[in-house]
Structure 1
Amino acid sequence: MKSLLCGLSLGFLLVFSGCKPSKDLSKLPGKTESGNYQAVIEIPAGTNKKIEYHKEKKEFLIDKRDGRDRIINFLPYPGNYGFIPSTFSSPKLGGDGDAADVLVLGESLKTGSVIEIIPIAVLKLIDEKELDYKIIAIPAELKDRTIISENYQNFNSDYPEVIKILESWFTYYDKSQVLEVEGWGDETEAVMEIEKWSSQP
């Protein structure tokens, strides 16, 4: 069964069971031919294990802290957390050395899923005096959406409670860090943030 899953189409039917993608998911195109961005999902919505993709090993592993699996001791993730491939937030430019973070609002997606997204906002956080931006996105496919907004203005007016939840969750989910909310940016700023770190030509 495991070998069968590994042979299926890249990313879409991956199951978090040690199955390794055949290619480096971090090098997938950041944009598709349709012009939408892509996201690689590491942590499914509604779960609390801090899973990260290791591009050298080409597999998803639970992050370790002090030698133990990192489990979020708080409410589970409010969306599908992952990264936008072919991006790199260079520390030389104030980044954290990882790909651009994204939270996809929608039903829970399996670890390893690759989904087309539409960025609708950027949550601007300060993590130990450094900027830490989170792209907020929705699935590009209408049938996969739970949030009916394609821009920040509608998101802010139609779902102000969701904005409060996201601010609160990111501020308090990790007791070992002191995070502050600097503010929000609209969909244009979200795209600018992605393009800033894009490693595609």
Structure 2
Amino acid sequence: MATSTRAIVGGGGVHKITCSLLFNNRFTLFSLKQTSSNAKRFYTCKAIYKPQIQVKEDGQPETLDYRVFFHDESGKKVSPWHDIPLHLGDGIFNCIVEIPKETSAKMEVATDEPFTPIKQDTKKGKLRYYPYNINWNYGLLPQTWEDPSFAHPEVDGSFGDNDPVDVVEIGETQGKIGQILKVKPLGVLAMIDEGELDWKVIAISLDDPRASLVNDVDDVEKHFPGTLTAVRDWFRDYKIPDGKPANKFGLGNKAANKDYALKVITETNESWAKLMKRSIPAGELSLL
């Protein structure tokens, strides 16, 4: 199996954090000091706070064996889902790119494989592709989990889809598979996919030239006109060419604001922490 180095990317540091509870050698509960009066609490992995992550490809792209693994500075494999910190302070989060914009291969973190590498999804033994390119960088928020045993009371009682929270990054630059972006959330869509709740956080990379102009969902419509509708319609319709019904959306069929997105991130981070403490059954999910 061929091996090559793809990229070196940094995940940044953690700011304004005080430790309040040690779970074990790997996890810590942090109280993150916010500019608002209500402090938010995030669970995060203590293994990598200033990661210099080496992203390595194993195998050939567009084959069943292809994997993208993450390694720390010592060369040890780490999980992009469990070991990359979620929160960087001041409302900034790490986002891991799975599908670069203007591509169609359905890449995703393999949540059931050790160290959760990125691979191309399959269906009936064949590689999966979207019917058309996705127009934004698409990835995940590490250290989040949509609990399939939790019925969300504000989204028709829909249960989580058993995956990390998805991110739609609307900046102008095409990312790379495995790239770690520093993003700020702007809003969130509550997609309901075959009855399962599948959050789509709308965010922008801090490196984008227009990042300073957008800080909430209303700013997106002002500076990226039509983008929110385009994102919703893309995810609503992408399964139709395969003969499946359109996806639905909760929360009034539109993107909720930044505060709601932050609430979703907090809730799903808490669910991830319960998963990692084994207080919720993991099933086939890898916790390595």
Shared topology, TM-score over 0.5? yes
Counterpart CA distance in 1 for 2:99 and 2:108 is 8
1:88–1:100 Cα contact (<8 Å) kept? yes
Supply the distance in 2 between the matched residues of 1:166 and 1:154 (Cα, whole angstroms): 15
Name the one with the larger strand percent. 2
Which of the two has greater helix per residue? Answer: 1
Q: Distance in 2 between matches of 1:3 and 1:156?
A: 41
Matches within 5 A, 1:148-159: 148-159=213-224
Q: Which runs of 5+ in 2 are unaligned?
A: 10-51, 72-77, 151-158, 275-288
Partner of 2:85: 29
| Conserved? CA contact 2:140–2:164, under 8 Å | yes
- 2:81 alignment partner AA: S
Q: 1: distance between equivalents of 2:95 and 2:135?
A: 16
2:121 is the counterpart of 1:53: no
Deviation per CA, 1:72-110: give whole Å up to 9, x if none.
112x11211111000111111121111111111121100
TM-score, with length taken from structure 1: 0.85
- Max Rg structure: 2
- 1:116 corresponds in structure 2 to 182
Alignment gaps of 5+ in structure 1 = none
Report the Cα distance in structure 2 between the residues aligned to 1:154 and 1:109, rounded to whole angstroms. 23
Mapping of residues 74-93 of structure 1, within 5 Å: 74=132, 76-93=133-150
What TM-score does the superposition give when structure 2 sets the normalisation length?
0.61
- Distance in 2 (alpha carbons) for counterparts of 1:6 and 1:153: 35
> What is the Cα deviation at residue 147 of structure 1?
8.9
Q: Deviations over 1:91-149 (max 9, x none)?
A: 11121111111111121100001111100011122222343321000012344x57942
In 2, distance between residues paired with 1:47 and 1:147?
A: 27
Query: What is the count of residue pairs matched by the alignment?
Result: 198
Higher relative contact order (CA 8 A, sep 6+): 1
Q: CA RMSD in A?
A: 2.7
What are the Cα deviations for residues 10-29 of structure 1, in whole angstroms up to 9, with x where unaligned?
Answer: 15x65666442121110111
